[in-house]
């Protein structure tokens, strides 16, 4: 590998998930592409995260550890972004994993352009303590950005018909270094969606590797089980973005439909596909 090969910064926030952290870090160390740095952000954990993270850093000088007071998931990711040196950014939550060829396959796609870009992939879902037990691993239906403008996809279809976990992405670092995009620490959840709205507003070139390169762990204490909290957090993020896009009438209309859709989605947990939304998806 040449010195000119791009560096990937992997940001791993961890709050009281020491029991999973080793699995996540091993999935990074097993990458076939070797030019990476990993920043573990211990976000004020009260378990043995600090000890586990320190031991992991001793096994590979590419692994660094930040210990900070609890600032939440957004604050932990932002802390990693603030010290990242990479040309590309990979987010990986401490309870998830990535496939060993993720970096090499997504870099191949991204290096085909000089434009501001990102790449995403499909993913698998595993359950709690045994994320890779074959009978429990579920191939998710591929989530694809299908509209001509990916921003409209994220605004209208996110969560109800479009689901892309954060570690499916590999981002051009310029989103965060040149445009200073960060995760909003005031949002209780859906901080990723809020961040993606700002990223896709820049109209980046978007690549997809149609393989399951990420593994998402569905834990028993997942926030996703609290429908009311998720709904209120998403609504808060949508209202914020509705205000931000005050000069983009199309996005504001899509976000209004999104709030109406979420009200029924979180009550019935069914994909509400009204005729109005179907028309919007077809014409945008």
Neighbours of 101 (CB within 10 A): 16
pLDDT at 40: 98
pLDDT at 132: 62
pLDDT tens column, 7-36: 999 999 999 999 999 999 999 999 999 999
pLDDT at 135: 44
Residues of the chain with pLDDT below 70 are: 1-2, 127-141, 219-225, 267-284
Ordered by where they begin, the domains of the chain are: 1-95 (3.90.550.10)
Pairing type for strands 8-14 and 97-98 reads unpaired
pLDDT tens column, 81-119: 999 999 999 999 999 999 999 999 999 999 999 999 999
Instruction: Name beta bridge partners: 119.
Output: 170, 207
pLDDT at 114: 93
Per this entry, what is the length of the chain?
284
Residues 110 and 238: their CA atoms lie apart, in Å, by 30
H, E, C per residue of the chain: CCCCCCCEEEEEEECCCHHHHHHHHHHHHCCCCCCEEEEEEEECCCCCHHHHHHHHHHCCCCEEEEEECCCHHHHHHHHHHHCCCCCEEEECCCCCEECCCHHHHHHHHHCCCCCCEEEEEEEEEEECCECCCHHHCEECCCCCCCCCCHHHHHHHHECCCECCCHHHCEEECHHHHCCCCCCCCCCCCCHHHHHHHHHHCCCCEEEEEEEEEEEEEECCCCHHHCHHHHHHHHHHHHHHHHHHCCCCHHHHHHHHHHHHHHHHHHHHCCCCCCHHHHHHHHHC
pLDDT at 153: 95
Neighbours of 240 (CB within 10 A): 17
């Amino acid at each position: 590998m040449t010195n000119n090969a791009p560096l990937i910064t992997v940001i791993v926030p961890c709050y009281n998930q020491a029991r999973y952290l080793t699995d996540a870090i091993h999935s990074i160390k097993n990458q076939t592409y070797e030019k990476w740095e990993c920043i573990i952000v211990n976000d004020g954990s009260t378990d043995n995260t600090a000890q586990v993270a320190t031991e992991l850093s001793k096994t590979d000088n590419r692994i660094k550890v930040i210990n900070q007071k609890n600032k939440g998931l957004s604050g932990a990711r932002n802390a990693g972004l603030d010290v990242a040196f990479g040309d590309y950014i990979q987010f990986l939550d401490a309870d998830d994993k990535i496939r060993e060829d993720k970096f090499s396959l997504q870099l191949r796609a991204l290096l085909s352009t000089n434009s501001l870009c990102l790449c995403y992939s499909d993913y698998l879902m595993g359950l709690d303590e045994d994320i890779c037990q074959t009978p429990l691993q579920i191939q998710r239906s591929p989530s694809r950005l299908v509209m001509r403008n990916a921003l409209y996809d994220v605004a209208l279809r996110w969560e109800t018909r479009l689901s892309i976990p954060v570690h499916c992405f590999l981002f051009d670092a310029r989103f965060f270094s040149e445009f200073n995009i960060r995760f909003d620490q005031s949002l209780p959840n859906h901080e990723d969606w809020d961040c993606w709205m700002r990223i896709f507003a820049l109209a980046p070139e978007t690549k997809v590797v149609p393989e399951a390169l990420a593994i998402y762990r569905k834990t028993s204490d997942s926030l996703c089980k609290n429908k009311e909290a998720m709904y209120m957090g998403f609504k808060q993020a949508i209202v914020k973005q509705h205000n931000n896009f005050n000069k983009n009438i199309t996005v504001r209309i899509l976000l209004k439909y999104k709030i109406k859709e979420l009200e029924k989605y979180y009550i019935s947990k069914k994909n509400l596909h009204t005729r109005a939304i179907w028309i919007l998806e077809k014409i945008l």
